[in-house]
Structure 1
């Protein structure tokens, strides 16, 4: 099957907001689901399968054998009963909890995944349409990207309230970055004037990073195709998000923070 092991990224939705509204979720959570971008990958695992879903919240794996019931935890409080049947390129998941049933029909082709959603408590039909990630979009692995320019980066650095000497050094720093795949892990190497630093991580798994001699941050990085999003939590509760978007010849790092209303960018070229 040509789609096994391929990453399919969300392209568009049809009536997905109607389905989400039927779930009766709080407004904020419902809006986050509707706007969420995700990717899916299916792999063969002996006589079973693994579907891996990546979102901004992290990575989930669903392991199953056709026709065999399995549990899937949706929230900390809700565990659903599921049965997946396989008919050629069509994977039909029937999910049950509290008397409600939701059906997800995944239809794969070489370059597209269409997920059709119905339920026993809603009269509509929703679709999520994914496109296969082009192999050329993954050409950034192992490639060195060198800093070229900034947008509003000085305002972000000023928001950190660093000593003037440190702020000036941060603003004027010329660095390069490289990301590599190592099994189920990733290695992000940053070359700074003070020397190289290496971050080794698994997508969606929290890890610690020493930011200064006195400050250790907790980080979660999710990889969704060519988008690598790092959420960094500082000991004082503040968060900084670094959204890296790669292409074959450019890396754009978009920076936002919980304590600053602006958006900054650092642009790198290969």
Structure 2
């Protein structure tokens, strides 16, 4: 799902004012709400999703009910169900009312269908993915200060749609030989090569965070850092980011070097592994 991490901004609605009126929202509040340029961001980490809607952040797991506080402190029992590119949120209130928001995502569009047991109609809200071009067009009338505040505060996402995705190991080529050349015992090689390893890459400003198995490494491109690998071995490690490729080079005190070249796409990750103690090239293949 390449829409994870993207900022979707509200464009227009159909009958959402009627939807709110059926819920007893005062007209002044309806007008205010329908005129807001609301934004929505959806992220995923493992089996946990995080929805950032305006100033509210909600974390959830598909199909797991939880207590939610909505406007003016009203409590609901809320469940999100994820089915492909569609996320359905159902809110159940103590007096018996229910509200349902069905969010249908694509790369650059989001359509939210809103229904409630207090009304027979169907309302829609339409969003588009936020881009620098979008904000330039909207604020081309000369409000440059607001344009820049919005552009940087909302952190326009990178084109790299693999950020935040969980990539799971599928197969390898010659990675056992790669490990053997480093002196790893055979039983340990068998264990490593059979693990369903997962890798997540995230980005916040100019800092990247790589989560591989149970190890989290934060880095900035081109900045050398001290890293502990394997059974407590120390190395000097540098990450270089070039487009969709992240190359990690580890330099050890005995002169050996190890290089992992990670090539990302939306749903695939190929890791090329080489080391100075071996003339071969190994590969590890992951899928999102």
TM-score (norm 1): 0.49
Structure with bigger helix share is 2
Structure with bigger strand share is 1
TM-score (norm 2): 0.46
